[in-house]
Structures are given as C-alpha cells and as structure tokens.
Amino acid sequence: GRKVRVHHLRELKERGEPWPMLTAYDMYTAALFDEAGIPVLLVGDSAANNVFGYDTTVPVTVDELLPLVRSVTRSVKRSLVVADLPFGSYQLSPQQALETSIRFMKEGRAHAVKLEGGQRFAPHVEALTAAGVPVMGHIGFTPQSEHNLGGYRVQGRGEAADVLLADALALQAAGAFAVVMEMVPAEAAKRVTAELKIPTVGIGAGPDCDAQVLVWQDMAGLRRGKAARFVKRYADVATVLQDAATAFAEDVRRGEFPAPEHSFHD
C-alpha cells in the first residue's frame, strides 16, 4: 500500500470516515500497528509514563524521545509517524520549536510533530509549517501543563468551549494538519469538529471527532490498575506476558527447558 500523507487524513474527514491513531515507542509495536492499518502512529511524550517510568510527562527530554522516534520510523511501511515535542523543547520561541522539530525530522526521521497549546502557540505552528514541518496541535487537557491546570481535569466545559474553538481555529489558521482534543465534553468536541476543515483527533472527547487516539499500553491492557474513563481495553497483554514469564521460569526451575530440540549437538 501507499504511504499515508496528511492530505489523506483530510480526505477521510471529507468522506466522514473515522480513523484510528495509536502511540508506538518501539520497533515491534510500530510494525504490528502499521500492518494492522493504523494510519497515524504517535511517538508520544507519554513515553515518560509508559516507557521511562516518570509520573508525569514533564521530565522527559528530546534526547530520550529521539531514539524511540527513530525506531518507529525505521519500522513502518505506511503509517505516518508523528513525534511529540516534549515540555521545554518548544515553548520558549518559534525558533526553539523549529530547532527541536528539525532534530526530530532529521535525526528521528519523523513525518510530522505535535505540540501542546492553542492560540498562543499559533506563531510556533506557523514557523514550523513554513519550514515544511507538518504540525498536529493538542488542546483541551494538555498533560505538560497539568500543574497549571490543577491535575487531570476535563477542559472546555460551559463557556470555556468558546476558548477551545478559538484555539482550534487559530491552530488551523496557522497551518496545523490536525488537532488532538483531550478530555473535553463530547458536545464541545462535536462543535469544534464541525467548524474545522482539518481533522480532530479525540481522546476522552466523545464519538464525534474525526479520529480517535489511545496510548497503546492502555488499549492493549499492558498497563494494569484503574484506567481513565476514556480508555477501552481490547486485550489483556499484561496477563499474557506475565503468564509467559511464569511458565518460562517454571520450566527452567523444573529442568524442562531447554529440551533436546533447543540444544546444539555434535
């Protein structure tokens, strides 16, 4: 099949066909999701929580994310790979955003980047798109600002829906090719989706967005414990992996692994 391009995503919106997006942080998941027909893979700064073991996305760095981006782009045939710009790597200025994005494009071979923020980041988005970097926006609940937003809370309720729409329109006008909306009321997300020409990607944003994204460890049940309301678990990978490790351990302890067929003989 052909590589997914940003104009394909807009065509899907025009045809009213919802599309899926997943995070990926390494070779096997990237190749599997690419083969499963996921058109867009995000190397999210959620690697902070889901790969590196931080408790927020704030501490993860460009140098930590770059090798993950590189492994994902090396492993896909069709999927469009979006690299998330981590906290501190773009907020200072449009120039800083461009310098960081150039690293993700050149060293990571990313196809696009994503950054958090609305109207106030329109100049950053404009600088990137002018330089040839496709940009995905991210509004509503933005995890890099969790200390400012007062924790994990739904954004854009009531009159704040107008701000959400203004932010989305500003990102579109600045040249963004899509915009993620995280943890916003379904009604607000529906309104933004109807007003925008570019696709909206929802996570906790109801059923009317043009696309839906989940963190893969949430989607596949690798991460245990209580999940957010917006997560649906499609598998129990945690149990599958743990059972495999337990069976291997028992085999070794009983002297049943390796068997003759796993051994080399003269």
Question: Where along the sequence are the contacts to ligand KIV (CB under 6 A)?
Answer: 23, 42, 44-46, 84, 138, 180, 203, 213, 215
Q: What is the 3-state secondary structure (H, E, C) of 75-137?
A: HCCCCEEEEECCCCCCCCCHHHHHHHHHHHHHCCCCCEEECCECHHHHHHHHHHHHCCCCEEE
Residue from 107, 182, 187, 195 carrying the catalytic annotation: 182
CB of 182 to ligand KIV, least distance (A): 6
DSSP state of 230: T
Contact 177, 112 (CB under 8 A): yes
Q: Which of ligand KIV, Na ion, none is residue 135 near (CB under 5 to 8 Å by kind)?
A: none
What residues pair up with 178 in beta bridges, in sequence order? 136
CB of 260 to ligand KIV, least distance (A): 46
Q: Which residue's CB is nearer to ligand KIV, number 138 or number 191?
A: 138
Give the pairing type, strands 178-182 and 19-23: unpaired
Q: Which residue's CB is nearer to ligand KIV, number 49 or number 75?
A: 49
CB of 23 to ligand KIV, least distance (A): 5
CB of 138 to ligand KIV, least distance (A): 6
- Interface ranges with Na ion (CB under 5 A): 44-45, 84
Q: Which residue's CB is nearer to ligand KIV, number 87 or number 174?
A: 87
Q: Which of Na ion, ligand KIV, none is residue 217 near (CB under 5 to 8 Å by kind)?
A: none
Q: C-alpha distances in angstroms, 82 versus 164, 168, 174, 185, 199?
A: 22, 19, 18, 25, 15
Q: Is 99 considered catalytic here? A: no
Q: Which residue's CB is nearer to ligand KIV, number 137 or number 254?
A: 137
Contact 147, 173 (CB under 8 A): no
- Give the pair of three-digit tokens for residue 221: 């049940």
Q: Which of Na ion, ligand KIV, none is residue 126 near (CB under 5 to 8 Å by kind)?
A: none
What residues pair up with 37 in beta bridges, in sequence order? none
Instruction: Cite the active site residues.
Output: 182
